[in-house]
Structure 1
Amino acid sequence: MRVPLSWLAEYVELVPGTTPEQVHAALVEVGLEEEDVHTFDLVGPIVVGEVLEFVEEPQTNGKTIRWCQVRVAPDGETAADGGEAVHGIVCGARNFFVGDKVVVTLPGAVLPGPFPIAARKTYGHVSDGMIASARELGLGEDHDGILRLSTLGIDAPVGTDAIALLGLDDTAVELNVTPDRGYAFSIRGVAREYAHATGARFRDPVGEIEPTDVAADAFPVVIDDRAPIRGNLASQAFATRIVRGVDPTRPTPAWMIARLKLAGIRSVSLLVDITNYVMLELGQPIHGYDLDALRGGIVVRRAVQGEPFTTLDGKARTLHAEDVVVTDDRGPIGLAGVMGGAETEMGESTTNVLIEAAHWDPVSIARTARRHKLPSEAAKRYERGVDPTIGAVAVARVAQLMVDLAGGTADQGGSVIQTAPERAAILLPDGYVTRVTGIESTVEEVHDALAEIGGVVTRVDGGFSVVPPTWRPDLTGREELVEEVARLGGYERIPSILPVAPPGRGLTRSQRIRRRVAEVLAAGGATEVLSFPFANAEENARYGSVDGGPVASVKLANALDASNALLRRSLLPGLIGAAKRNRSRGLVDLALFELGLVFLPEDGRVYGSSELPAGGALPSDDEIAALDAGIPPQPRHVAALFVGDAVTKQPGQAAVPAGIVDALDAVRRIGLATGAEFEVVHGSHHAMHPGRTAELRVAGRSVGFAGELLPSIAEEADLPRVVAVLEIDLDAVIELAEPQPEAQAIGTFPAATQDLSLLVAADVPAGVVAASVREGAGALLEELHLVDDYRGAGVPEGSKSLTFALRFRAPDRTLTAAEASEAKLAGAALAGERTGAAIRE
């Protein structure tokens, strides 16, 4: 909202010399955000001149110029630029005549651009200034000819300061109006807020306008809404007024043009400008109809689905059944609250006007404006909420201006329909403001603040009964009233105290573990990425299933990209896409990870069938359960990708390429963060290298996989042949992990180390053998890890030799070699029973 300061000063007292910055600062104190300052960017001398004579001189380029003699100061006086009273000026326009009063920019003046004016030689003459057009002055877009003051109804003495004469010395402050404060889309609303901030006296323009009584049936209006939205009628107030005998050719006054321009609205014609002016002044959008073009009375109704309608901009539109239309006997003549119709618009031949000011349902208007892509100034106000009680005042104000400026006569024709319900009272208990804000507010302070914003405040037992003002539809509960008290009292009074969380609050176990997982992966050198949760059927089948067959997926009803219209079943497509993009930009060594949701619907099951509960109350437990049942499983996964070099080449160090070792090391880190013990066994996945894929298990349950992508898939994604990845169901790991892992005491007695080499069939997983040895060796075994997997000379065909490093320790004594050997052999014996392993001699 742009607010010209001269206009603001009509309704609130501004101290002389108040700057735009001071106005901004005051309004910021009451919660309005400052945006910008707007001026006409003019520097004088710019004066009224009179064309004494001119000579038309054709030029060799085919253009004809006028060499003009223009009086810019009274006879015998010096011009504002210090020169003679009569200046010779070259002008290319030809729309003026001898005796016309025009706007002359003298040498030393500066026009918007900036465009400095100086005496210069052109077309064989020294042009001592310039005769200006409306566009050059910033008053409008008309650049076809110079601005003749007679077209604005102005006859000022020669030499008069044209900047002040035309209202071009004004300044506007621009504010960002939040959606809940639609009343600030008016001079009336901003003036009230400035009064709140500074204590200046506020004069409500609504109180200064007396709506004239009109005959109830002087102009027929019927509101016929058989399909209210959410129980709200299309219109709860509708006021009309008839003005006859207007002269549409009269010029819009310069002061009105200047104010509209500063407010961001271009001048169209006097009749249209008046309706826009009142809209900015009061915040009530106005529409004017050519009365003679109307057929019969007005009916407000919902549109018929597919009904055609041509708006003021000349575009034919197809209406929706939710759209509200204003109709006469022929059909729609206005898209309510958004834009009028072409057949009844006010034009050059209009002499009788029907003025309309209505109150429309905000949600309906917002939907209509977006549906038809018509973000009009009227819709912008209606969708935020307009005072439903000022329609009669607004049409009276328009009628007054049309009488004063357009020469019309306001008659008793019109109508007033007022069905808006009275605002309900809100109970604000004593002490509630203090409990919410921390500000010690007295009863008097609360009363005065709520009364100042326009509320009807009544003292009741234990608090106040407050009826919010009609222009504040955002005040619906006690919390909003508390904010008003805090806002007017000053936000700086609210103490900066961090509240203490009640016992038992804070992050849940799952949240803490997820954070630790992200921290350990980042500490290991990986970078977290966030990818879109969308995929296509091929990606879901490839990475979201072990065998690559068709899988059930959640399809988006309104996808951003039709080629990725499904919700992902795996995090890997996003990581692969991120790796591809980064490598294309020169980042070839990558370690990436992501924590996010995947969507795993059951095949053949329909989701989302439960109806949404009403928004007026909290849903019941049964309703929440029904909603949850309509959502497919959404487990949280963690995935990582490694490509390029894990260690780059440097002096004395060869490059170490990334591979499955890095993926398994990330698994180990995740195990440390979650407290889960991963069992790594040989696995298979159709998108993974068959010999370099591990299945990950926790407590015997498969929770994910790690390994290297098939080279063909890596090549398809423009990645190197070796791309290591992992994906783990993190929710399952958290569920299976020990809730509170026990810390092991550090042994203080010496350890006994031994090696154990076992011959076993080549197809027996090393992890199974290791688990058997660990179980058989008993409590004395402190650590076991595989150090060698040998297949070759000395090992029978179809077998392999697995060598394990064992470390034994007793908590209360030094072990003997015999005790360590006995435990080792016990482990080997159990491995022999379960896997057929034998000690290699």
Structure 2
Amino acid sequence: MKFSENWLRSFVNPPLSSTELAHALTMAGIEVESIEPVAAAFDKVIVAEVLAVEKHPEADRLKVCKVKTGRAEEDVLQIVCGAPNVSIGVKIPCAMIGATFPGFTIKKSKLRGVESAGMLCSAKELGISDATDGLLLLPGDAPVGMDFRGYYELDDHVFTLKLTPNRADCLGVLGVAREVAAITSAGLSSPERKPVAEEINDTLAVQVMVSGACPLYCGRIMRDINLNVPSPSWLTQRLERSGLRSINLIVDITNYVLLETGQPMHAFDLVKIKGGIQVRYAGRDEKMQLLNGNQIDLDSGMLLIADEQKPLALAGIMGGLDSGVTQGTTDIFLESAFFSPDTISGKSFQLGFSSDSAYRFERGVDFAATRDVLEYATQLIQTICGGKAGPVTEIKHELPQRSSVHVRVGRIKRVLGIDIGKQQVIDYFNRLRFEFLANEDAFNVTPPSYRFDLAIEEDFIEELARIYGYDQIPVHFPHGGMAMLPASETKYSTIDIKRSLITRDYQEVINYAFVDADWELDLVNNSKPIALQNPIASQMSVMRSSLIGGLISNLQFNLNRKQARVRLFEIGCCFIRDDESDCKQVEKLAGLSYGDIAPEQWGITARGVDFYDVKADIEALCQGNTLYFRKFSHPALHPGKSAQILADDQPIGWLGELHPRWQKKYGLQRNTILFEMESGSLMSKLLPAVKEISKFPPVRRDIAIIVDNDVSVHSLLDAINTGKSAIVSDFSLFDIYRGKGMDDSKKSLAFRVLLQDTEKTLTDEEADSAVASIVEILKNKFSATLRN
């Protein structure tokens, strides 16, 4: 949105400089992207009239001109000029001797032997435009001798706004003026728009077939218009400074009204309309050529302005080439309408181009001003190029509702953090031109018709903040109570688990929960993982049910970068399908160890990490909890080097060496040890228990028993701990033997038994009796025999 500062100040003129005005608008949410002067800095340029033109005696392309300046001391000057459009009687800008321009100064000189006392100027030389087709010709009523900067209003700036999509009300100079008046408390001079007197009775039948898409349509016939009248300089200047070129008077006036009010309009050549006007959607196989020359195929979602035979315009976007106003037009049908934003939205993108009309209609225009703007445009047309106006045809259906919103005084303070007094709120609402009813602790505020962005209480509170000034709201540093939260003595936190693994030389990784479907099939044997409907990459197409795929990928990444020793862990969510339509989320802990047990050094013999090293890490992680391990089969693990992890007879995870098949597939040269556990199973912590320390020496007994190979050590230890004597303080395995002298179905287990009493020194009889009871338990439950 570009406009002239002088144009804006004709409606509202606060005592602010251009820079201060731009800052005030920006701080109120109407960002001023740039401020540019309309012309370069120069002086001593006046309005002059060419009195005579003669050919230069020494140059075919140069002319010697006598120029009237209107200055007593040098009324007529001789100036040599090469412009092709210089002629007797034209009025042009003339730079006097001593006039300064960026980079040069006008001096008295000779051109091919003829003296020249000044310079006749083009628009490009004055920095007004890039036009290079000759001198800048001024209107015939331009006052000779007047300073050109003042005459052409060059002490002006072009403001460029960078509006957010919600502020469609500022897509017109009058809307910006309303904002400036509200922000600065300056007076607003709105133009008075009275109905134009009807001089003819001609009307055109209008039929709105889609009332939801076009709730309001206004139009009138105008006859006997004279388009040969030159456009007034004030009109063309404001259009040019807003980035629009002059086309013809009717188009210029509708563009001018658009820029001033934000209401798009269109004028049709009345002769080209057959029958009445229809507002309808496009039919099948309809085509039309737009004013920009584009030939488009219409679809059923495009709203048209048509007559009884053909489309005339693409409603709310652009007129048709065949119905447009041209230089010979004398009778027009002038249209001003409100089209639903939903109907226009997206059509420009679909067509591949935008227009000023579409840009405004898809954001919402002021439907309450639609007819007034038609009267205003009619008045401008009659003032500039004559014409007789007919009665207005108005078709009105259900327009958007403006419901009142309850705005609480207490809520204003709570949201903004400042106390804006009730009287100040009333002042701000008045400045914003809101209709409201005030009671003791709240306001019922009705948004104006041009504000489509105000719908809830917070919208109006934001309006108060804008007018109050965002930069005036004091900064309050956040503060909060630092209360110590209770820490459970029976629970570990996730941070505790991470810290424990880090102290054992693991490093944490964080991976995406989206993984390759092949990982799920290879490593978890999950043939039906939870698939993503719109994956971000083909190798991230399913949700993981295990963390180990990501860890193996991390390992490959490190090995490719010459890291020979890698120890990683991750805590993250996995997603497991409950049934065909539901899934559950489980947080897991997984780890990986690869390479040597310790970094290469002289003090420790190099050795690759193995199953038992990682088993020790897990036991250290779960200190205080009794874990045991049993033989286990897992798709990712070596069948003879894997175990299930149990706590309180409940499986909580697994541990093992990566299967050789996957080790080969994923390019791993050495054994890789993996584990995965449900993180929730690691959170419980045993409280320390007080136990009396014996002052008496322990007694040690060693026993070796023979049992079947399928008897687990864990079951033996459980049985002994359940039935042992009170004086048995420790019972642990220290040797396993299979081989020579032993049946192939048997194994020998050697246990260390420590016996101790807190009251006295044990006798041999007491120790032997306790050991005998252990042997008896093993014999009865497991058919164990003592080994000789």
What TM-score comes out, normalization by structure 1 length? 0.68
| Equivalent runs, 1:131-280 vs 2, <5 Å | 145-146=132-133, 148-150=135-137, 153=139, 156=142, 165-205=151-191, 208-212=192-196, 218-225=203-210, 233-246=212-225, 255-260=234-239, 262-263=241-242, 270-280=249-259
Write the distance in 2 (CA, Å) between the matches of 1:250 and 1:762.
Answer: 117
Write the distance in 1 (CA, Å) between the matches of 2:459 and 2:39.
Answer: 41
Write the distance in 1 (CA, Å) between the matches of 2:146 and 2:760.
Answer: 111
The answer (yes or no) to whether the contact 2:517–2:541 under 8 Å persists in 1 is no
Question: In the alignment, does 2:688 pair up with 1:744?
Answer: yes
Unpaired segments ≥5 residues, structure 1? 59-64, 111-115, 227-232, 606-630
What code does the residue aligned with 2:188 have? F
What code does the residue aligned with 1:96 have? N
- Of structures 1 and 2, the larger Rg is shown by 2
1:209 shift after superposition: 2.0
The answer (yes or no) to whether the contact 1:747–1:809 under 8 Å persists in 2 is no
The answer (yes or no) to whether the contact 2:185–2:431 under 8 Å persists in 1 is no
Distance verdict in 2 for CA 1:358–1:780, change over 3 Å:
farther
State which drifts further: 288-297 or 489-498.
489-498
CA offsets per residue over residues 269-308 of structure 1, 9 Å max, x none? 5544433332332222333434433333333334457865
1:10 paired residue number = 10
Which of these residues, 73, 85, 98, is aligned with residue 96 of structure 1? 85
Distance verdict in 2 for CA 1:706–1:422, change over 3 Å:
same
Question: In the alignment, does 2:427 pair up with 1:448?
Answer: yes
2:30 paired residue number = 32
The answer (yes or no) to whether the contact 1:659–1:722 under 8 Å persists in 2 is no
Question: In the alignment, does 2:528 pair up with 1:551?
Answer: yes
2:260 paired residue number = 281
Q: Secondary structure at the match of 2:333?
A: strand
Distance verdict in 2 for CA 1:451–1:418, change over 3 Å:
farther
How many percent identity over aligned positions? 26
| Equivalent runs, 1:100-111 vs 2, <5 Å | 109-110=101-102
Write the distance in 2 (CA, Å) between the matches of 1:249 and 1:815.
Answer: 130
1:97 shift after superposition: 4.2
Which of these residues, 376, 380, 385, is aligned with residue 401 of structure 1? 380
Write the distance in 2 (CA, Å) between the matches of 1:285 and 1:826.
Answer: 104
1:19 paired residue number = 18
1:198 shift after superposition: 1.8
The answer (yes or no) to whether the contact 1:47–1:158 under 8 Å persists in 2 is no
Distance verdict in 2 for CA 1:312–1:598, change over 3 Å:
farther
Write the distance in 2 (CA, Å) between the matches of 1:370 and 1:742.
Answer: 66
What code does the residue aligned with 2:219 have? T
| Equivalent runs, 1:276-355 vs 2, <5 Å | 276-303=255-282, 310-317=289-296, 321-348=300-327, 350-355=329-334
1:18 shift after superposition: 0.9
Write the distance in 1 (CA, Å) between the matches of 2:517 and 2:675.
Answer: 14
State which drifts further: 38-47 or 358-367.
38-47
State which drifts further: 99-108 or 322-331.
99-108
What code does the residue aligned with 2:69 have? P
The answer (yes or no) to whether the contact 1:754–1:807 under 8 Å persists in 2 is yes
Write the distance in 2 (CA, Å) between the matches of 1:34 and 1:756.
Answer: 91
Write the distance in 1 (CA, Å) between the matches of 2:576 and 2:335.
Answer: 56
Question: In the alignment, does 2:444 pair up with 1:465?
Answer: yes
Write the distance in 2 (CA, Å) between the matches of 1:423 and 1:402.
Answer: 33
Write the distance in 1 (CA, Å) between the matches of 2:610 and 2:288.
Answer: 65
CA offsets per residue over residues 706-746 of structure 1, 9 Å max, x none? 778779878988x86569797968xx644x565x6454369
CA offsets per residue over residues 785-822 of structure 1, 9 Å max, x none? 99999999999999999999999999x99999999999
What code does the residue aligned with 2:210 have? D
State which drifts further: 749-758 or 1-10.
749-758
Write the distance in 1 (CA, Å) between the matches of 2:352 and 2:468.
Answer: 40
State which drifts further: 470-479 or 269-278.
269-278
What code does the residue aligned with 2:133 have? I
1:389 shift after superposition: 0.5
Write the distance in 2 (CA, Å) between the matches of 1:438 and 1:12.
Answer: 32
Write the distance in 1 (CA, Å) between the matches of 2:179 and 2:261.
Answer: 14
The answer (yes or no) to whether the contact 2:201–2:390 under 8 Å persists in 1 is no
The answer (yes or no) to whether the contact 2:436–2:443 under 8 Å persists in 1 is yes
Write the distance in 2 (CA, Å) between the matches of 1:642 and 1:56.
Answer: 99
What code does the residue aligned with 1:191 have? A
Question: In the alignment, does 2:519 pair up with 1:542?
Answer: yes
1:391 shift after superposition: 0.7
What code does the residue aligned with 1:13 have? N
Write the distance in 2 (CA, Å) between the matches of 1:251 and 1:805.
Answer: 116
1:86 shift after superposition: 5.7
1:388 shift after superposition: 1.8
Write the distance in 1 (CA, Å) between the matches of 2:57 and 2:628.
Answer: 99
The answer (yes or no) to whether the contact 1:591–1:641 under 8 Å persists in 2 is yes
Write the distance in 2 (CA, Å) between the matches of 1:544 and 1:275.
Answer: 68
Question: In the alignment, does 2:460 pair up with 1:481?
Answer: yes
1:390 shift after superposition: 0.9
Distance verdict in 2 for CA 1:331–1:119, change over 3 Å:
same
1:381 paired residue number = 360
Distance verdict in 2 for CA 1:265–1:836, change over 3 Å:
farther
1:61 paired residue number = none
Q: Secondary structure at the match of 2:275?
A: coil
What code does the residue aligned with 1:32 have? I
Write the distance in 1 (CA, Å) between the matches of 2:153 and 2:613.
Answer: 73
CA offsets per residue over residues 305-349 of structure 1, 9 Å max, x none? 786555444445555554444333245444433444444344555
1:44 paired residue number = 42
What code does the residue aligned with 1:193 have? E
Write the distance in 1 (CA, Å) between the matches of 2:274 and 2:327.
Answer: 19
1:404 shift after superposition: 4.0
The answer (yes or no) to whether the contact 1:684–1:690 under 8 Å persists in 2 is yes
Write the distance in 2 (CA, Å) between the matches of 1:176 and 1:692.
Answer: 67
CA offsets per residue over residues 657-691 of structure 1, 9 Å max, x none? 9999999899789979xx99987777666567777
1:469 shift after superposition: 1.7
What code does the residue aligned with 1:496 have? H
Distance verdict in 2 for CA 1:826–1:658, change over 3 Å:
same
- Root-mean-square deviation (Å): 6.4
The answer (yes or no) to whether the contact 2:507–2:567 under 8 Å persists in 1 is yes
Write the distance in 1 (CA, Å) between the matches of 2:486 and 2:269.
Answer: 65
Write the distance in 1 (CA, Å) between the matches of 2:499 and 2:30.
Answer: 41
Write the distance in 2 (CA, Å) between the matches of 1:270 and 1:761.
Answer: 112
The answer (yes or no) to whether the contact 2:169–2:365 under 8 Å persists in 1 is yes
The answer (yes or no) to whether the contact 1:55–1:67 under 8 Å persists in 2 is yes
1:356 shift after superposition: 2.9
